[in-house]
A and B are shown apart, each in its own frame.
Chain A
Amino acid sequence: GDSVTQMEGPVTLSEEAFLTINCTYTATGYPSLFWYVQYPGEGLQLLLKATKADDKGSNKGFEATYRKETTSFHLEKGSVQVSDSAVYFCALSQRQEGGSEKLVFGKGTKLTVNP
């Protein structure tokens, strides 16, 4: 079945450092790809998404490019802030037979940014 693998955490960075969180996927078709973020004590929020190959999703300084040839969707940010400390989840979805577009998530990567 479809699956998502993302880099193990935790990741600890200093403020203004460059961030990369790797994500690769396995899917039979052409999924949509997502990054969700979970801040401490809060629910999951969509950070960015891409729906087809070579699309770049971006939001709040974060970017990720849908790479079909490497089945990857790595998350990057040029200069992290303390407020970016959270757990980041990579996910994919594909339309199922019953119409569902259920999300398949990676295990999450916890990011801590120190001042």
Chain B
Amino acid sequence: DTGVSQDPRHKITKRGQNVTFRCDPISEHNRLYWYRQTLGQGPEFLTYFQNEAQLEKSRLLSDRFSAERPKGSFSTLEIQRTEQGDSAMYLCASSLSAGGSKTQYFGPGTRLLVL
């Protein structure tokens, strides 16, 4: 069990550019969540996948954001035409749907800075 990994760990981009982040969940976990955390705040939910199906999206997820989870394994989060307000830590978490625990395990996050 190598835990949840995210890549890159840090990203600096200019306003208007597109960025893509990757999350690799714990291998047997079929549930995957994306959250966003701004400075001094708790994480806020963005979207949820069960296997390859995206089943819930937050209103925080504007049209510039898109997430995918092909084949129910890794997931990508893309932000198009980045804005300074997108600067935040983007967190990925995974969990099992079967069994008692359902605990969400978090990755280290991708810190995005939009200049």
A and B physically associate: yes
Q: Which residues of A contact B56 (CB under 8 A)?
A: 96, 98, 100, 102
> How big is chain A's contact interface, by range?
20 to 34
- Give residues in A with beta carbon < 8 Å to B: 4, 36, 42-46, 49, 89, 91, 96, 98-108
Known: A99-B55, A99-B97, A101-B102. A44 touches B91 (CB 8 A): yes
Chain B residues with a Cβ closer than 8 Å to the other chain, count: 26
**Distance, CA A4 to CA B105, complexed state (A):** 20
Given A43-B91, A98-B48, A98-B55, A107–B106 Cβ distance below 8 Å?
no
Indicate if B72 sits at the interface (CB-CB under 8 A). no
B103: contacting residue among A49, A100, A102, A108, CB under 8 A:
A49
- Whether A107 contacts B41 in the complex (CB less than 8 A), given A42-B108, A43-B91, A98-B56, comes out as yes
Q: Is B25 an interface residue (CB 8 A)?
A: no
User: Interface digits, B30-69 against A, CB 8 Å rule (1 contact, 0 not)?
Assistant: 0101010000111111001010000110000000000000
**Can you name 27 A-B residue pairings with CB atoms under 8 Å?**
A36-B106, A43-B4, A43-B91, A43-B106, A43-B109, A44-B93, A44-B106, A46-B103, A49-B103, A89-B42, A96-B56, A98-B50, A99-B55, A100-B48, A101-B95, A101-B102, A102-B48, A102-B56, A103-B33, A103-B45, A103-B104, A104-B45, A107-B40, A107-B41, A108-B40, A108-B41, A108-B42
